Structure 1
Amino acid sequence: MRSPKPSHPITRRSWVFLLLAVLLYFAANQTQVPWLYVFTTAALGVWLAAGLMARGNLRGLRLTRRINGAEVLEYELTVGDTVTVELELHNRSGLPALQVAGAEWCEFAPPEERAQPFFLTVPARGKITLSYETVAARRGWFEFPPLTVRSRAPFGLFNTQRALVQPTGVLIFPEYREISRFPLLDRKPSVQNPFAQVGLGTEFVGVREYRPGDSPRHVHWRSTARVNELVVKEFSEETQPGLTIALDVRPASIIGAESDNTLERAIKVAATLAHYAAQRGLPVNMASNSRALPSPTGPVSRWAAMNYLARLEPDDGPSLTESLHNLRASVFVAVLYPSPDPATLAPLLEMKKQGVTALAVLIDPAIFQPELAGQAQALAAALRAQGIGVRIIGNEPDWEQTLIADDRSATRY
């Protein structure tokens, strides 16, 4: 992609320089002193020469960016990974690029490391390579903005600026922990398939409206004739026991700062569970109440689950209770709560009646707001009274140990 042409704003020093040349000219015109004309001409010559040099000073610069030695448009990392970013400034011009200043902006780095300033001169038809090391501190999709370089060479009369464009995107997966076991998935399910899963099987389960891509062989002609619209048959498919991970991403349920809050901690738990389930070869389904990033349909791979969790952002969607009522659950369900929501007890009980083994993972809001102490414990007690498993994730550094604890020792303070 071509970089925009450089701009050449005139500096205050340049206006002073021009004013001095004009005053010299008037003085020479009034006094007819020859050497004043010489100084006037020299001053104007220096001003014009500086303008021409500034015009071409940054024109030949090109940028190449490498992430951990790889020159790619997209790169994948995990929170906590060490990242080495290399910037190669190549000057295609036959003149050096003098006094080039700029600052690389790395959005996913820790706040104190996001701006990486530099000041250098790039030789004619040469290149300079800069590098900096940082840590992937945030999950998400990040694109490096254009690198804006500036120069006031040669005499500070013009402030030349140019944006160097090198499209580079980095997808950072959320942090996850390795766990050796997880009681929810390590037990045998009470039923193999509590819900009829819509798919490509042979058992007829109902009809629905036609969608692009549906096979003409599945058209239900009797229903089509009755409603005067194409209607197709749906079939069930056999599925092995799997894990559904449900998340509440509504801003109202999130407690804490932007960089560290109950949703971010819930996503770490979700990533840990998805990683463990994938290691065991179990299908993983992701579910959230996000409208901007709808949940994937059907089981997803470990990469797809991490990709979904990396891109998930707070969003005003339906309540967690409504989402759970509409959830097409698998045999095992883990519901992650950024904040306690007693209204979810009813849909969890309904799941239990239908044979689904559910686990509620509560992120204790007292981590961020001590005045909320006891809310997570109160909901946990109500859930346990109905026979629903609960884990409360507090501020302990080894929170993954809470996940693998049995029900009698699942709450840690």
Structure 2
Amino acid sequence: MPTGRGIGLILAAVVVFILVNVTRVGWLLLFDSVLWGVIVVSAVMPWLAMGRLNIRRRVIGWNGDESLPGPEEGEPVKFGFDLRNESWLPLVFANVDYMIGGDLPAEAHRRMFVAWLGSGGTAASTPSAIYPTRGLHELDRVEVQTSVPFGLFRRKKRFEDSDEVLVMPKLYPVEPIQVSGLQAQSESIVQKTRSGGQVVGSRMYLPGDPWRQIHWRNTARVGQPQLKEFESDSQRTFTICFDAGADPQSASSEDNKFEDAIRIAASIGVAACRTGALARILAGPLDIVTGDFRELLDGLARLRRHGMSTVADHIETAGSDATLAIVSENDTRARDAMRGRAAVHGGGSMIMMKGYDSPDGDDSIVDQPVDDAGIRVVPCMMGEVAQTLAEL
């Protein structure tokens, strides 16, 4: 397509052509021929200068722990961007615009200039970006354009294929001894007297599980198939529950509480997996039991609010597993569920999210006693997740 300069030159050539027909002046005819020659060459060259191209974007590394399946939120991520010329003609004077996301719109848009890229050659760039939020970020919109040789016509090629980068929730240091302490606090008192065939909870049904072991009551409560979990299956499993139900009217404080709960669950869950225990996450639609911290982080990174399950529902589902509930300061139903669980199985731990629902610092609800049933309560003020986990 013609640029503004190209449109101006075409209009000038048309005017000169009209003057040539009126005046019959020889040098005007020569000048007009030169103008049309420049226009024709400028129209053809961009099509010849841009042939078949191949685009590749990939994550090279990040500043944090590279044993994780992806970068954590808030840390610099280094990308590799490769442009390969697969045409038999060179790519000349091309601008490459691409998106890699980031914390600001200015950070998302990047540009690379290619003066000359021969057939089979590769132009590479290594930009960096910071993703402030966890989740799946799409890297789309790659455009290559050239306007050789005089900038009169521009050819643009857009690549619609998008790449993705999965950003993990931020992890805070949690020592193995802290996880062991939480497990000891939450361990079932009556577990030792039970036989291996005792039903102590339920988990999400997986393909291949026997239908005769469906836990129908929990299936009706949760809204999806739940399988009975026996005492022998639940040993060395550390369950973490928090609220991930859908709330169309949720405020920003609810979003902050949800994200902090994910960070707490990820930090403790990864530490539990590294001690050799199984970690179970119960949050909204997510019900995952794994000893692989990579699988656990992948599930938490992709988690979105969905469904109507509450923390209280998850606490009842957890059974006699060592259980940690992350609850809101005004969630009395979850607190009652923890009391009921402690009365049956003994012990339990809660992280109480304070300051999210009462910005004026009203702690009257939180001051209600909850440790009379042997429940350990750890307060977590808004913005102090690191301090809370350090004091476990």
Corresponding letter in the other structure for 1:365:
G
CA contact (8 A) 2:238 2:277 kept: yes
What is the match of residue 156 of structure 2? 161
Following superposition, the deviation at residue 137 of structure 1 comes to 3.6
Unaligned runs of 5+ in 2: 63-68, 215-226
Task: Indicate the residue corresponding to 1:382 in structure 2.
Answer: 368
Deviation at 1:363, TM superposition (A): 3.0
CA contact (8 A) 2:186 2:349 kept: no
How far off is 1:300 after superposition? 5.2
| 2:134 is equivalent to residue 139 of structure 1 | yes
Residue equivalent to 1:228: none
1:394 partner amino acid: M
Q: Which of 335, 338, 346 is the equivalent residue of 1:348?
A: 338
- The aligned amino acid for 1:19 is L
Matched, 1:402 2:388: yes
Q: CA deviation at 1:214?
A: 5.9
Task: Verify the 8 A CA contact 1:100 1:120 in the aligned structure 2.
Answer: yes
Counterpart check, 1:185 vs 2:172:
no
- Structure 2 counterpart SS, 1:382: coil
Q: Report how many residues are paired.
A: 362
SS of 1:191's equivalent in the other structure is: coil
Q: Distance in 2 between matches of 1:214 and 1:323?
A: 22
User: Within the alignment, does 1:89 sit opposite 2:83 as a pair?
Assistant: yes
Q: Distance in 1 between matches of 2:327 and 2:102?
A: 25
Whether the 8 Å CA contact 2:320–2:345 is kept in 1: the answer is no
Deviation digits for residues 153-192 of structure 1, max 9, x if unmatched? 3222223211246654322221112222333224472336
SS where residue 171 of structure 2 aligns? coil
Identity %: 22
Match of 1:120 in 2: 114
- Taking the aligned partners of 2:292 and 2:365, their CA distance within structure 1 comes to 32
Aligned alpha-carbon RMSD (Å): 3.8
Name the counterpart of 2:41: 49
Structure 2 residue corresponding to 1:285, chosen from 270, 280, 285: 280
**Partner-residue secondary structure (3-state), 2:55:** strand
Distance 1:332 1:202, change over 3 A: closer
1:331, 1:77 → 2: CA distance?
31
Query: 1:218-367 residue pairs with structure 2 within 5 A?
Result: 236=230, 238=232, 239-249=234-244, 250-251=246-247, 252=249, 255-256=252-253, 261-289=256-284, 294-299=285-290, 301-313=292-304, 315-318=305-308, 320=310, 323-324=313-314, 327-337=317-327, 340-355=330-345, 357-365=347-355
Aligned equivalent of 1:103: 97
Counterpart of 1:327 in structure 2: which amino acid?
Answer: T
* CA contact 1:192–1:331 (8 Å) conserved in 2: no
Contact 2:242–2:311, Cα closer than 8 Å, also in 1: no
1:373 to 316, 340, 360: 360
Query: 1:271 offset after TM fit, Å?
Result: 0.9
Q: How does 1:15-30 map to 2 (within 5 A)?
A: 15-30=7-22
Output the CA distance in 2 between the equivalents of 1:164 and 1:127: 17
Cα gap change, 1:247/1:211 in structure 2, threshold over 3 Å: closer, same or farther? closer
CA distance in 2, matches of 1:202, 1:339: 37
TM-score (ref. length: structure 1): 0.74
Q: How does 1:194-233 map to 2 (within 5 A)?
A: 213=208
Q: 1:76 aligns with which of 70, 85, 90?
A: 70
AA partner of residue 336 (structure 1): I
